[in-house]
Amino acid sequence: MANGPDYYALLGVEKAATPEELKAAYRKAALKHHPDRNPGDPQAETKFKEVSEAYHVLSDPDRRAHYDRFGTAPTGQGMPDFSNFANMEDLFEVFGDLLQGLGGVGRGRRAAGRAVHRTVEISLEECARGTEKIVDFERSAECGECHGRGAAPGTQVEACQVCAGRGEVRFRQGFFQLTRPCGKCGGRGSVARTPCEPCKGTGIARKAERLSVSLPPGVEDGATRTVPGYGDAPGGGLPSGDLELTIKIKDHPLFERDGADLHCTVPVSFPQAALGGMIEVPTLDGRVKMRLPAGTQPGQELRLRSKGMPRFGGYGRGDQIVTIQLEVPSALSPEQRELVEALAQTMNEETHPQRRTFLEKLKGLFD
């Protein structure tokens, strides 16, 4: 071969390159030689055309097979005009995402409206049983008066002179011929002789919306929900954006959530902890009686099975973990004082093994 240019060398790939490798190589080479990045450099422009031609041939299995066999691009098919990039399928395939970033680019890829963001606050109880919430919000929507035409009811519209009724205008960015929605007519392609009063002829008006959103039991704090089509309408018949809801679970005075488990702290007195017995504990289902073992220590955790939050998706419930807090009276009546003093007389190292261990360690340290 070697009659024609070495397309593989131009793209810097092996002859066995996969389509993905070719695409990546073309993208890299085209970006490097892009005229916007090399202003006033005619060599970059030439190089850009060369790599575009190489990719055009190698990205098509038939053309590539022909090239591999004969060393030239197949004739008779007509090479695209590489100076008119609006017509280049390859370029859009490889740079589609980049071009989209430039805003409102042709080939049917036209941007939808902006998203509207709202936070939905629910209580822990609502979260536990699942809930339905009313969400009030405002968005840009088609004007109800003129139904988006922009013309006062009963009046005519005429084709926009700026875009000749197409709704979009073409412009050049370096090598790229791009389109964007027409600013004069807002992408509608028509303008009103008598603009609609409420929307000033834009066809878009602020609209109050009210939606009912159903939240399943066990939804996580910070979770998001998307309601398609309830964001801002960009006008010109383009699709509306989405409504993005963020779920916020309000702080609870008694419970702290840890995944599917709930934590709460319950204060008890010394006699309760020492003697044990039934204590009352709050749960999401109401108050329940829980057995406190005799000799419960401060900070000890007791578990109430399946009294936590529902696991998302309906796989049972987590546990409630009760942390026992020992409350020492900050003041005693004379009578209580006498009783506690009498109790203290009966206590020794036998009744307080932790204290005994502590005293023994202390002895070893200082004697």
> Residues in the site for Zn ion, rule: CB under 5 A?
143, 145-146, 160, 162-163, 182, 184-185, 196, 199
Q: Kindly write down the DSSP assignment for every residue of 121-155, as one continuous string.
A: EE-HHHHHH-EEEEEEEEEEEE-TTTTTS-BPTT-
Minimum distance from residue 202 beta carbon to Zn ion (Å): 7
| CB nearer Zn ion, residue 200 or residue 289 | 200
Containing 281, the helix (H) or strand (E) segment is strand 277-283
CA distances in angstroms from 320 to 92, 255, 283, listed in the order given: 56, 9, 8
Residue with tokens 């071969």: 1
Minimum distance from residue 177 beta carbon to Zn ion (Å): 18
CA–CA dist 140, 339 (Å, integer): 74
CA–CA dist 367, 365 (Å, integer): 6
Minimum distance from residue 195 beta carbon to Zn ion (Å): 8
Minimum distance from residue 111 beta carbon to Zn ion (Å): 17
Minimum distance from residue 153 beta carbon to Zn ion (Å): 9
For 17-28, b/e burial (b = at least 16 CB within 10 A) is beeeebbebbee
**CA nearest neighbour of 57 among 45, 43, 72, 46:** 72
| CB nearer Zn ion, residue 30 or residue 185 | 185
**CA nearest neighbour of 75 among 11, 14, 4, 17:** 4
Indicate the pairing of strand 116-122 with strand 243-249: parallel
Instruction: Say if residue 300 is exposed, middle or buried (CB neighbours under 10 Å; 0-12, 13-18, 19+).
Output: middle
| CB nearer Zn ion, residue 23 or residue 149 | 149
CA–CA dist 198, 205 (Å, integer): 7
Minimum distance from residue 85 beta carbon to Zn ion (Å): 23
| CB nearer Zn ion, residue 159 or residue 278 | 159
191 and 235 Cβ atoms separated by less than 8 Å: no
Minimum distance from residue 185 beta carbon to Zn ion (Å): 3
**CA nearest neighbour of 113 among 216, 19, 242:** 242
| CB nearer Zn ion, residue 32 or residue 184 | 184
| CB nearer Zn ion, residue 194 or residue 283 | 194
Minimum distance from residue 164 beta carbon to Zn ion (Å): 8
CA–CA dist 199, 185 (Å, integer): 13
| CB nearer Zn ion, residue 66 or residue 180 | 180
Neighbouring C-beta atoms of residue 164, cutoff 10 Å? 11
Minimum distance from residue 209 beta carbon to Zn ion (Å): 17
Minimum distance from residue 199 beta carbon to Zn ion (Å): 3
| CB nearer Zn ion, residue 99 or residue 157 | 157
CA–CA dist 360, 366 (Å, integer): 10
| CB nearer Zn ion, residue 180 or residue 263 | 180
Token code pair at residue 14:
């092996």
| CB nearer Zn ion, residue 68 or residue 158 | 158
CA–CA dist 65, 70 (Å, integer): 9
